[in-house]
Amino acid sequence: MKIAQNTLKNIAQLLGCDFDGNPELPVTGVNEIHVVENGDVVFVDHPKYYDKALNSKATIVIINQKVDCPEGKGLIFSEDPFRDFNSLIKFFRPFEFNTSKVASSAQIGTNCQIHSTVTLGNNVKIGNNTILFPNVVIHDNCIIGDNVIIQSNCVIGGMAFYYKNRGDHRERLNSGGRTIIQDYVEIGACSTVDKGVTGDTIIGKHTKIDNHVQIGHDTLVGEMCIIASQVGVAGCSVIGNNVTLWGQAGIPSDIKIEDNVTVMAQSGVSKSLEAGKSYFGSPAGEFREKMREMASIRQIPSIIEKLKGE
């Protein structure tokens, strides 16, 4: 999430926290660890991830432990990094509830067909020749490309499903990112694509998505993919080009499916998948290996009976 250029000192003062590092270090973004760039602020609140955050591209790290400041970086010392990071998202990308069906800031291209029941949020951009069927909702800051078809009752750009367990309640992480639907994408009825927390959820060109599909926050889906009905993709996943996910396949967060992969129906992916292979089962494995496993399992009753006879 890009912001107007700021400084380490100003960000620390905004949060009411002490800091270490050059007060004039430039701050140009607020991002999670998987999408950080130079100039970004990131947060870390568990020792397990300290090194990852401190060695990342981020310029500023909000951290709940006094540690040595890496050269060229800045540290902001916080009792609750999650809370303070959440505050930055709210400050720089505040939620604006849109009370009209089509926000005045929405931009619509030429030759579009948009049903009267469609809702377009603040700063939405719709390309040319795009079709939006009844009851489609496009939330704030989403970008829809040219020649896109979105069928009835889809929700594009909903809030990320991301919560911190506070013991007696769960605190939602604010969503300041976007959803980008590129050219020639088609999305079936009742499907949802969540916005990024600080980055972008992207659906690549010519990808086709069936009915009742969920795509989580900050997920990147490549070009020419096929995603069948009832597939669930968790947040922060990366799906390559020409990937096929058949019905009810489940994809967890923070994994990568490389190009030209097929995941068979009802498979549960548990780890990243190599390019050019087919996968089946739960946990999903290479298709032929899984078929051999199943064939072997079917022989177990006859083996047991044979052993009893001996």
What tokens appear for 8 in the block?
A: 């380490």
Q: How many CB atoms neighbour CB 68 within 10 A? A: 8
Burial class (CB in 10 A: 0-12, 13-18, 19+), 298: exposed
Contacts of residue 262, defined as CB under 8 A and 6 or more positions apart, other chains included, come to: 243, 244, 246, 277, 278, 279, 287
Mapped onto helix, strand or coil, the DSSP state of residue 238 is strand
Q: Which of 56, 48, 8, 14 is nearest to 32 (CA)?
A: 56
Using N-to-C axis directions, what is the helix angle for 8-15 and 81-92, rounded to 10°? 110
Annotated active-site residue 169? The verdict is no
CB of 224 closer than 8 Å to CB of 244: no
Mapped onto helix, strand or coil, the DSSP state of residue 32 is coil
Mapped onto helix, strand or coil, the DSSP state of residue 90 is helix
3-state class percentages of the chain: helix first, strand second, coil last, to nearest 5: 15, 30, 55
Q: Report the Cα 261 to chain-centroid distance in Å.
A: 20
Active-site residue, selected from the candidate residues 34, 46, 206, 217: 217
- Dihedral sign, Cα of residue 225, residue 231, residue 234, residue 235: positive
CA dihedral 7→8→10→16, nearest 10 degrees, is 170
Q: Please identify every residue annotated as catalytic.
A: 217
